[in-house]
């Protein structure tokens, strides 16, 4: 018998399921003062603040890739304060294909995503978003 899934893991799964389909459902999982960080020196790198800023950043992944960007959650580990989501990111941009594993380190506050750091697990991330 397996243990029930932690509510924060279930929330991560819902966000990934809604990504690219339902921005309102994605936004509802975010704290008003969410901060989302993307490392590096790419067109997507930076620190994004607030629900509106983060949703706009996520929308840009589609705009920058002519709608080809997709993410598929592979696994999630969560407790009351943190989650780690490992996912596959795929897309095409400027003639370059992306198909890499990435991670999100998510800190929760009051049951919502409060602080997110994207962690590329492959150098192809930098080349794709350069």
In a domain, 47, yes or no: yes
pLDDT score, position 2: 72
In a domain, 2, yes or no: no
Average pLDDT over residues 35-52: 95
Q: How many domains is the chain partitioned into structurally?
A: 1
In a domain, 32, yes or no: yes
Average pLDDT over residues 113-126: 93
What percentage of residues in the chain have a pLDDT greater than 70?
A: 99
In a domain, 61, yes or no: yes
In a domain, 1, yes or no: no
Could you report the per-residue pLDDT of 12-23, keeping only the tens digit for each? 999 999 998 899
Could you report the per-residue pLDDT of 75-108, keeping only the tens digit for each? 999 999 999 999 999 999 999 999 999 999 999 9
Q: Is the pLDDT of residue 3 over 90?
A: no
In a domain, 116, yes or no: yes
In a domain, 62, yes or no: yes
Average pLDDT over residues 44-65: 95
pLDDT score, position 1: 62
pLDDT score, position 127: 86
Domain that holds residue 62: 7-129
Whichever domain contains 94, its CATH number is 3.10.450.50
Left (φ > 0), alpha (ψ -120 to 50) or beta: where does 95 sit? left
């Amino acid at each position: 018998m397996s243990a029930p899934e932690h509510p924060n893991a279930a929330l991560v799964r819902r966000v990934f399921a809604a990504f690219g389909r339902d921005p309102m459902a994605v936004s509802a999982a975010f704290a008003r003062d969410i901060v989302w960080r993307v490392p590096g020196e790419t067109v997507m790198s930076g620190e994004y603040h607030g629900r509106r800023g983060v949703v706009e950043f996520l929308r840009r992944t589609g705009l920058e890739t002519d709608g080809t960007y997709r993410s598929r959650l592979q696994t999630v580990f969560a407790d009351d304060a943190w989650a780690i989501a490992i996912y596959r990111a795929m897309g095409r941009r400027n003639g370059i294909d992306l198909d890499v594993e990435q991670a999100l380190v998510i800190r929760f506050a009051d049951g919502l995503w409060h602080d997110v750091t994207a962690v590329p697990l492959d150098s192809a991330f930098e080349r794709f978003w350069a």
